[in-house]
Chain A
């Protein structure tokens, strides 16, 4: 097996990971920055095939001159905090990295709440559509609906619009009162993505409707039953049908805690627990960014700085960023309050609505089950390829189960990779 060694290993190259890697490298540490994507920037700063955003270009330049070694396309699938090693699969080959300090910056994923027909092709994530468009998916002329909750919806609508889609509307589940209170308070946090995106959407006339949510999707063309033709929405009182051939939706973000949990780091309320220097409960393992709680790119950047300096044993330099972090955390708290999920979203799920997409387990099959463990054994819910990453968070919301099991490999890899072999060729 291929092996590498470094002082500081950073897993995840979004804002938090990039900042952490740069800060540690500035202090003279040998830094490896790994990401399973082929490009840097994470989800929020994912570069469009043609041009990277300015923030990403600036960070790429910084990293290039800092001596940070970049491992793109490397998916971490196993780790051991005692041995101080993380194993990756890269280009279908296993790679073992031994570290002095480890900084986790694995970010967050979207929460997809089930509703009837949500597995239909043409239904993608609100963050998902941005990733796919930036990856080269053309949406010109598509009729798109954007639904769910949170600032991501506005960013998704703006990008869809810019790429020539006809955005029928944005359906935000939160109430108008909460949404407007949040929007009015944004002046306190200059530079927030939402302001810029909101302006774009507003100017080009994409209607935003608060207090509506998804309850169905369907199709009236029997010859092409798989095609998305409409979504059904409700405000709890009325039900309406909206015609579209593309739905981008998502109910906010949830931290990616799998790698941290595998290392034995303490996770509470779905997020990795850290101290003021971004240190987790495991010796030598730090965490920065949205896996410690959802708060946006600016908070991730600040936490990345703190973690990078802390990992390089420069607590004084880390402390210089504490005030900025406190300010961004206040914003995170406001964000959470504004886009809190309404209880009624649970009743969008019917008996035959699929909850676990990997194993096609329906809500009906989950009824009467009391825990995640029981669901796994009785129904195979959460036992498929995504290892409960999609249905687990949904089940937490729908049924109140505590979803905490994690086992290696945390992403599907070749059998040969597990055995540490090199690939055939």
Chain B
């Protein structure tokens, strides 16, 4: 079995593959609403490479972190704007 790390998504523990980026790990968990648009639409990663800003999340209290550029780390706390 491959190694996992534990992140906290909107207050819930989730095990994700070690070495995964946060965007990929959350997509694999089935998350579809990474952020909510100005008009309330759900948005999820588009470009996967740090350009489009659609995967922005709050990570360890820091807002607007691009999930596609961030490797998952043990204990990382992640919040979407509407859980």
- How far, in whole Å, are A129 and B49 apart by their CA atoms in the complex? 10
The DSSP consensus for interface residues of chain A is loop
Q: Mark B21-54, 1 if CB is under 8 A from A, else 0.
A: 1011101100011100111011111111111111
Docked Cα-Cα span, A393 to B20, in Å, equals 30
Structural contact, B50 and A37, CB atoms closer than 8 A: yes
Which one, B20, B33, B53, B71, contacts A386 given CB within 8 A? B53
Taking A121-B43, A226-B42 as contacts, is the C-beta distance between A92 and B62 under 8 angstroms?
yes
A122 with B49: CB separation less than 8 A: no
A147 to chain B, nearest CB (A): 14
Given the complex, which residues of A lie within 8 Å of B50, measured CB to CB? 36-37, 75, 411
Interface size on B, residues (CB 8 A): 37
Most buried by A among B16, B56, B71: B71
Taking a contact as CB atoms under 8 Å apart, the answer to whether B69 and A38 are in contact is yes
Q: Check if A128 sits within 8 Å of B42, measured CB to CB.
A: no
Q: Are A43 and B49 in contact (CB under 8 A)?
A: yes
Contact with A along B44-83 (1 / 0, CB 8 A): 1111111111101000001010001111000000000000
* Known A49-B19, A132-B27, A360-B38: A125·B56 in contact at CB below 8 Å: no
Residue of A nearest to B17 (CB): A136
Find chain A residues with CB under 8 A from B24 CB: 132-133, 135-137
B46 partner residues in chain A, CB cutoff 8 A? 112, 123-125, 128, 357, 390
Name 28 interchain pairs, CB-CB below 8 A, sorted by A: A75-B50, A109-B51, A110-B47, A119-B37, A121-B33, A124-B46, A124-B47, A125-B46, A127-B48, A128-B47, A130-B48, A131-B48, A132-B21, A132-B24, A132-B27, A135-B21, A136-B20, A137-B23, A138-B28, A226-B32, A256-B51, A357-B37, A358-B53, A359-B38, A360-B39, A385-B64, A386-B51, A389-B51
Does A121 lie within 8 Å of B42, measured CB to CB? Answer: yes
What is the distance, in angstroms, from A289's C-beta to the closest C-beta of chain B?
15
Which of A123, A133, A135, A411 is the one whose CB lies under 8 Å from B68?
A: A135
Tell me whether A236 is interfacial, beta carbon within 8 Å: no
Q: Once bound together, how far apart are the Cα atoms of A133 and B34, in whole Å?
A: 17
A414, CB-defined interface residue at 8 Å: yes
Selected contact of A414 from candidates B43, B44, B48, B62, CB within 8 Å: B62
Q: What distance in Å separates the Cβ of A81 from its nearest Cβ neighbour in chain B?
A: 23
The CB with the most chain B CB atoms within 10 A, among A36, A38, A128, A360, is that of A128
Q: Which 7 A-B pairs have the closest CB atoms?
A: A136-B20, A135-B24, A131-B48, A128-B48, A135-B21, A121-B44, A137-B24
A414-B63 Cα distance, complex, nearest whole Å: 9
Residues in chain A near residue B48, CB distance under 8 A = 124-125, 127-132, 135
**A389-B27 in contact (CB<8A):** no
